[in-house]
């Protein structure tokens, strides 16, 4: 087993194309094999619960959100229940998720709009979801993909952001630009699974502080500059 990373020599990357269809297919094949049943880690029973849980997940772990939502939904099970409240009434319920005042305003505001404009049902449309308070593309993509099975885009959370750059699938740093790059190279039928798989990969193996490269099923396809162990050339431009 090598103990040092291989640093790419001048000219050694001339024929390397990180976005080649062959490489993309190989990455997806390995992800499918490693994470065949990857799903959203947020506990939910319907689209509304998933929407609320995703709003709560901003700057918070899914584990923490899953500790908070059972009590919240037991007390306020429907959008109608939350729409009747003032944001400060649910702040104690969600305090531990961080940024709870803004999240409370978003959740109550979203509940009111869902009730008033969509008959109490979470819309299955990107533009309508984006009109809800507290909902950006990440949240909308999570709800559309994980609950409705609609591949409207690619979820770009912190794991997808970091790992897509490490894998040289994008050089962008803004979530929307990263999403657009991924939508170009990942086949549409794989958008939903790809997001789930990369998120699980980021939690289990490609961790931010010290990636477990020696155990990684993508290792021979990855040239990231911060690899802890490598059998392939390391590319200085492949940075998270």
Catalytically annotated residues: 138, 157
Q: How far apart are CA 52 and CA 47, in angstroms?
A: 9
Residues near 39 by beta carbon (within 8 Å), at least 6 away in sequence = 146, 196
Q: How far apart are CA 56 and CA 177, in angstroms?
A: 24
Q: How far apart are CA 225 and CA 240, in angstroms?
A: 8
> ∠ CA 178-65-188 to the nearest 5 degrees?
30
* H or E stretch covering 213: none
Paired strand residues for 234? 7
């Amino acid at each position: 087993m090598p103990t040092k990373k291989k640093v790419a020599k001048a000219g050694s990357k001339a024929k390397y194309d990180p976005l080649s269809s062959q490489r993309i297919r190989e990455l997806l094949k390995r992800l499918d094999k490693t994470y065949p049943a990857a799903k959203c880690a947020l506990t939910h029973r319907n689209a509304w619960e998933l929407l609320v849980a995703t709003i709560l997940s901003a700057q918070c772990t899914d584990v923490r959100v899953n500790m908070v939502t059972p009590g919240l939904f037991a007390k306020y099970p429907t959008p109608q229940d939350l729409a009747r409240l003032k944001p400060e009434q649910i702040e104690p319920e969600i305090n531990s998720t961080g940024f709870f005042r803004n999240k409370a305003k978003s959740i109550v505001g979203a509940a009111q709009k869902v009730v008033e404009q969509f008959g109490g049902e979470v819309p299955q449309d990107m533009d309508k979801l984006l009109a809800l308070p507290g909902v950006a593309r990440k949240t909308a993509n999570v709800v559309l993909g994980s609950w409705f099975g609609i591949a409207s885009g690619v979820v770009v959370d912190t794991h997808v952001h970091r790992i897509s750059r490490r894998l040289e699938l994008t050089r962008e740093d803004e979530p929307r630009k990263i999403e657009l790059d991924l939508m170009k190279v990942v086949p549409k039928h794989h958008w939903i699974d790809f997001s789930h798989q990369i998120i699980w990969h980021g939690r289990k193996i490609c961790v931010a502080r010290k990636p477990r490269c020696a155990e990684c099923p993508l290792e021979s396809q990855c040239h990231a500059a911060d690899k802890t162990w490598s059998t392939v050339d390391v590319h200085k431009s492949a940075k998270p």
